Structure 1
Amino acid sequence: MAPLWTNNSCSPFAEPQSPCTLGNYVSYAFNATTAEEYAAVLSFAADHSLRLVVRNTGHDYSGKSTGAGALALWTLYNKDAAFIPLYDEPHYHGPAFRFGAGVSAHEAYVFADANNQTVVSGNQPTVGFIGGYTQGGGHGPLASTFGLAADQVLEWEVVLASGELVVASPSSDQHSDLWWALSGGGGGTYGAVLSATVKAHEPLILSTASLTIVAPAGDANLYRQGIEVALAHILDFTDAGLTAVWYASGEALAISPLYGPKLAKDDLDATVQPLLDDLAALGLKTVYESTQHESFLAGMNSQQQVGVAQYHIGGRLIPRSVLTSSTANLSEAIVSVVETGSLFSGVSLNVSQHEPGSIGANPYWRQTAFSAVLGGLVNYTHWEENQKILDFITNTLLPPLEDLTPGGAAYLNEADPQQVDWQEAFYGEHYKRLAAIKNKYDPDGLFYALGAVGSDAWERLEDGRLCRTK
């Protein structure tokens, strides 16, 4: 997931005489599953002035899970899971789950189903649920129904830089600020999360659909119109509680999957039919199919995994205002990206059911219509080309979207690692408050991650060492 950050070390595609060293991978990793082990790792790193990396699955585009010469606090095998039939606190009264930091999205879905419940997590089964995914916000199939993954967190168990284990919740007298920061304000920077307790939701059926809009040969204008119509309808879908994952290429726009939580197949088909009618009226060829699954887990198990590791990416959150006032310009920008042979994908959702300041996640999420991700394939055989690909994303592909969204935002888990003004783009107006919380709980800067709150106080040298700049 992080080829850009590993110096192409030990690549099977490189020449035989190429060096095979650790590159930017950590030098040592400690498999930590208890609070005592967490504390020991943090103490050792602090005592020896070691760069520390908090690593779960390594599902990470921005280099947060790597660090030359570093010691990793490895949380992958912290698989504890518990069902709480009644979590009774002032801020929530109902069923909940407590998951260890190493539980994956699929493992959480299976455990929830076994307890006749549903849990909000990610699209890809291998995502580390409680790690950077939820701590960074976390969108997924149920986003338009229940909100971001970070919106579900009731409390965090956290080992601080001091080694102290604390429980942070919104009703905590001492640590409500830490709960707020961890809930979407970025992972690996305020403390090391041992577990999170999240809301459990009632079991539900899930209908899914796939719609492919075929690009007409030699008629880019008609294709743009088709994209424009599709995006307008998808906005209505998300307002009705659906979430859509879609991909645009020079050959087609594929909406797959379209998630319909709590919807029977016939109801999902009826929701999509107006879009099919409008596309037919334009003369565009479409392919549509849908399926009803009797449980959320069954629906997720039916989805094909997407190969997400082979791309350099950049991202932008596209607000609803663009889709209601500048859809033509947006569709033109999408076509301009795919005409270069680059990827353009989106996750359309509506998470406005929660207040912008309720958690530490960028408040821009509450006005977002979709999270756009674009990029190009990693070049494994000509490594020097990869920086050119990344620069092309930064300097050519993203600017049209940035022009449409002045003062806008990017999803920090799926963003351009070269993002200019990343503090505003990733965290918005919350950055100043998040930085104050960071300094309160980690005054010596033990926790560092690229693009994380407080990382602007450090300079990363070529050998991976960190030096304070302020």
Structure 2
Amino acid sequence: MKRREVLKASLGAALVAGGLPGLARAQAKGKAVLYRVRPGTPGWPGAADWEGLRRATSGRLLKLASPFAGCATDASACAATREQLKNPYAVGDNPALTQTSGWQDAWLSQPSAYAVAARNALDVAAAVNFARTHKLRLVVKGGGHSYKGGSNAPDSLLVWTRAMNDVTLIDAFVPQGGTQAEALPAVSVGAGAMWIDAYTAVTTKAGRYVQGGGCTTVGVAGLVTGGGFGSFSKRYGSAAASLLEAEIVTADGQVRIANAHTNPELFWALKGGGGGTFGVVTRLTLRTHELPATFGGVFGDITADSDAAFKALVACFIAFYRERLFNEHWGEQVSLREGRKLHLAMVFQGLDGAQAKAVWAPFLDWVRASGDYSFKEPTIMAVPARRFWDAAFWEKTAPAIMARDDREGAPAHHAVWQGDRGQVGWYIHGYESSWLPAALLEEGAQARLVDSLCAASQQWWVELHFNKGIAGAPPQALAATRDTATHPGVVDAFALAIIAGGGDPAYPGMPGANVDEQEARRRAAKIRRAMDPLRKVAPNAGTYVSESDFFQQRWQDTYWGPNYPKLLQVKERYDPDGLFTVRHGVGSEQWSADGFTRKA
């Protein structure tokens, strides 16, 4: 019997027996429709129920409201709130906000009705049990960076893990059920920790490396469960590939351990199967790696004098990338920008400054000799790897690189890359992405790739994120990434192409927020068209679930490919009633877009 038939049969039997506990029923076109409850509807918890949850979580239940609710009566407080929107740490510390303010015709950042500011797995379990018993929409937020609104839903109960941010290094970690022969150096990270917390403990203080995200304020748990890529993934694989063990609260309220020995299928699903889908992760243990001596970067712009010169520049760079950069040392991105500009923002590991300059010499010599380009000499610099995420080091060396959390009492290590600050609170107009297979780098295919890149860039900026495709990595990193739930195409891709655009923060109720919806839709359409040439040369290539289109077509195949049926089996085992439902998450095809109404 097919899954949908099983679902209908089980729901029908429950209704005949008197209805599913806590679920309201309605009639639509003669079919029973089951839905989660909202405030003001039958079944919404009363004051005594909420007080019970407050006691069960040691007073950590919060009633939420928009931070702009008082703007009409307190202009100074409102101005202070708006100023804090420039600081991603301040945004993350507010349970009523998300790091993205919305997406045109998709979603808007709106606070949950209540939040449990969890400090341990028992708090999380209490919230999960409460949501299941009362049939509430449940949302999980750590860093709050979900572009597609996965950590946001009005009228929901929010499990907010921000305070679960401890980081502990382990010299020889043995997974539960494993043997001493499996012992590896590792780091145990609470679900609310950000990558800057992990990098500070592992790299700055301990002199080792953990594979995480490039943005310092992204949550560890969300990145890992989405697959996750960072600046040096070309060397170490995806973030999920380093996961050794997870602690998770599943839909039945049980606190479980998942690793290669205990709940192994759940463990596999957590390695890239999507955040907020299989339960609430409360702790992760990640493998750490030996730290190379140096990290570094290459930054600059090269502007072509004509369209023909720009195409020649792109062709030269692609050939140069294939010959000199397509390896474990190089990551991050280049972008093709308006004005016929090639923007360089690459990073490297394991090379010193002289070695990096030698790698780039042939390409830069060609640019200088051609006479068709204007540019300043790119910055090529290497720094001690241990200082790469050290805000104090950058303040002395290059103050424009990082910006600290400037609030009084903020942790000294909390800093953000200046280039990431423009995303704080942004309102997305359109976002397209696709992996580009390494086969396109072969000599006979490079011309088609160059043509498609130039055609796309005539419509919109095109970014090539080389670290978000694992092809070119060492065999061990490829094997570890292949053993995750992420679409297998990631190991054959040399880059993730991203074409995206947005506008200023536009949180609902924020004074001065102004979205020109017609213009936003026009830009979104242009962004979609810009990706068409790349999809023609890389059809059915798949993409990264965490950085993709809200309106993604064929999302099951595009995000997970042949892994989706197995992921769906895991979902049905650990969350058969769909308590955890996110946009285009595993099993979400059973729910309507708002996450409240289940399809009949």
* Paired residue secondary structure (1:239): coil
1:466 aligns to what? 596
> Aligned pair 1:317/2:435, yes or no?
yes
Q: Deviation digits for residues 349-385 of structure 1, max 9, x if unmatched?
A: 3524323641111111100111111122226533423
Percent identity (aligned): 25
> Aligned pair 1:336/2:455, yes or no?
yes
The 8 Å contact of residues 173 and 186 in structure 2, kept in 1 or not, is answered as: yes
Q: Deviation digits for residues 395-449 of structure 1, max 9, x if unmatched?
A: x122222111112111111101111111111111111111111111101100011
The 1:23–1:274 alpha-carbon spacing in structure 2 relative to 1, beyond 3 Å, is closer
Which amino acid in 1 is paired with 2:553? V
Which amino acid in 2 is paired with 1:413? S
Q: For residue 239 of structure 1, report the CA deviation from its aligned partner.
A: 1.4
Q: Following the alignment from structure 2 to structure 1, what is the Cα–Cα distance between the partners of residues 298 and 207?
A: 27
* Paired residue secondary structure (1:61): coil
**Superposition pairs for residues 52-451 of structure 1, below 5 Å?**
52-88=138-174, 89=178, 92-112=182-202, 113-131=204-222, 133-172=223-262, 175-217=263-305, 219-235=306-322, 236-251=324-339, 252-256=341-345, 258-283=346-371, 284-286=373-375, 287-298=377-388, 301=391, 302=394, 303=401, 304-306=417-419, 307-309=422-424, 310=426, 311=428, 312-324=430-442, 325-340=444-459, 342-349=460-467, 351-352=470-471, 353-355=477-479, 357-378=482-503, 381-385=514-518, 386-394=520-528, 396-451=529-584
Q: For residue 74 of structure 1, report the CA deviation from its aligned partner.
A: 0.8
The 8 Å contact of residues 87 and 93 in structure 1, kept in 2 or not, is answered as: yes
* Paired residue secondary structure (2:360): helix
Q: Following the alignment from structure 1 to structure 2, what is the Cα–Cα distance between the partners of residues 351 and 263?
A: 19
Q: Following the alignment from structure 1 to structure 2, what is the Cα–Cα distance between the partners of residues 465 and 107?
A: 32
Q: For residue 151 of structure 1, report the CA deviation from its aligned partner.
A: 0.6
1:13 aligns to what? none
The 8 Å contact of residues 199 and 209 in structure 2, kept in 1 or not, is answered as: yes
Which amino acid in 2 is paired with 1:313? Y
Q: For residue 5 of structure 1, report the CA deviation from its aligned partner.
A: 4.8
1:14 aligns to what? none
Number of equivalent positions: 448
TM-score (norm 1): 0.89
* Paired residue secondary structure (1:65): coil
The 8 Å contact of residues 6 and 24 in structure 1, kept in 2 or not, is answered as: no
The 8 Å contact of residues 229 and 279 in structure 1, kept in 2 or not, is answered as: no
Out of 37, 43, 50, the position equivalent to 2:136 is: 50
Q: Following the alignment from structure 2 to structure 1, what is the Cα–Cα distance between the partners of residues 229 and 104?
A: 27
The 8 Å contact of residues 293 and 299 in structure 1, kept in 2 or not, is answered as: no
CA RMSD of aligned residues (A): 2.3
The 8 Å contact of residues 434 and 543 in structure 2, kept in 1 or not, is answered as: yes
Q: For residue 331 of structure 1, report the CA deviation from its aligned partner.
A: 2.9
The 8 Å contact of residues 102 and 130 in structure 1, kept in 2 or not, is answered as: yes
**Structure of greater Rg:** 2
* Paired residue secondary structure (2:580): coil
Q: For residue 389 of structure 1, report the CA deviation from its aligned partner.
A: 2.9
Q: Deviation digits for residues 280-307 of structure 1, max 9, x if unmatched?
A: 3444344312122112443675444322
The 1:177–1:188 alpha-carbon spacing in structure 2 relative to 1, beyond 3 Å, is same
Q: Deviation digits for residues 190-243 of structure 1, max 9, x if unmatched?
A: 1110011001112323342324342223x1121122122213323441314321
Q: Following the alignment from structure 2 to structure 1, what is the Cα–Cα distance between the partners of residues 478 and 497?
A: 21
Which amino acid in 2 is paired with 1:56? G
The 1:299–1:264 alpha-carbon spacing in structure 2 relative to 1, beyond 3 Å, is farther
The 1:6–1:276 alpha-carbon spacing in structure 2 relative to 1, beyond 3 Å, is closer
The 8 Å contact of residues 317 and 371 in structure 1, kept in 2 or not, is answered as: yes
Which amino acid in 2 is paired with 1:138? G
The 8 Å contact of residues 456 and 533 in structure 2, kept in 1 or not, is answered as: no
The 1:293–1:357 alpha-carbon spacing in structure 2 relative to 1, beyond 3 Å, is closer
Q: Following the alignment from structure 1 to structure 2, what is the Cα–Cα distance between the partners of residues 416 and 321?
A: 24
The 1:232–1:135 alpha-carbon spacing in structure 2 relative to 1, beyond 3 Å, is farther
The 8 Å contact of residues 207 and 290 in structure 1, kept in 2 or not, is answered as: no
Q: Following the alignment from structure 1 to structure 2, what is the Cα–Cα distance between the partners of residues 314 and 6?
A: 14
The 8 Å contact of residues 230 and 275 in structure 1, kept in 2 or not, is answered as: yes
TM-score (norm 2): 0.70
The 1:326–1:4 alpha-carbon spacing in structure 2 relative to 1, beyond 3 Å, is farther
Deviates further, 305-314 or 29-38: 305-314
Q: For residue 348 of structure 1, report the CA deviation from its aligned partner.
A: 0.6
Q: For residue 59 of structure 1, report the CA deviation from its aligned partner.
A: 0.9
Which amino acid in 2 is paired with 1:117? R
The 1:401–1:237 alpha-carbon spacing in structure 2 relative to 1, beyond 3 Å, is same
Which amino acid in 1 is paired with 2:314? I
Deviates further, 446-455 or 221-230: 221-230
The 1:338–1:106 alpha-carbon spacing in structure 2 relative to 1, beyond 3 Å, is same
* Paired residue secondary structure (1:468): coil
**Structure 1 alignment gaps of length 5 or more:** 10-21
Q: Following the alignment from structure 2 to structure 1, what is the Cα–Cα distance between the partners of residues 423 and 454?
A: 21
Q: Following the alignment from structure 2 to structure 1, what is the Cα–Cα distance between the partners of residues 110 and 104?
A: 5
**Structure 2 alignment gaps of length 5 or more:** 1-98, 395-400, 402-416, 472-476, 507-513
Which amino acid in 1 is paired with 2:530? L
Q: Following the alignment from structure 1 to structure 2, what is the Cα–Cα distance between the partners of residues 28 and 110?
A: 32
Q: Following the alignment from structure 2 to structure 1, what is the Cα–Cα distance between the partners of residues 597 and 270?
A: 25
Q: For residue 336 of structure 1, report the CA deviation from its aligned partner.
A: 3.1
Q: For residue 98 of structure 1, report the CA deviation from its aligned partner.
A: 0.3
Q: Following the alignment from structure 1 to structure 2, what is the Cα–Cα distance between the partners of residues 465 and 319?
A: 34
Deviates further, 66-75 or 322-331: 322-331
Q: Following the alignment from structure 1 to structure 2, what is the Cα–Cα distance between the partners of residues 296 and 260?
A: 14
1:41 aligns to what? 127
Q: Following the alignment from structure 1 to structure 2, what is the Cα–Cα distance between the partners of residues 263 and 409?
A: 32
Which amino acid in 1 is paired with 2:329? G
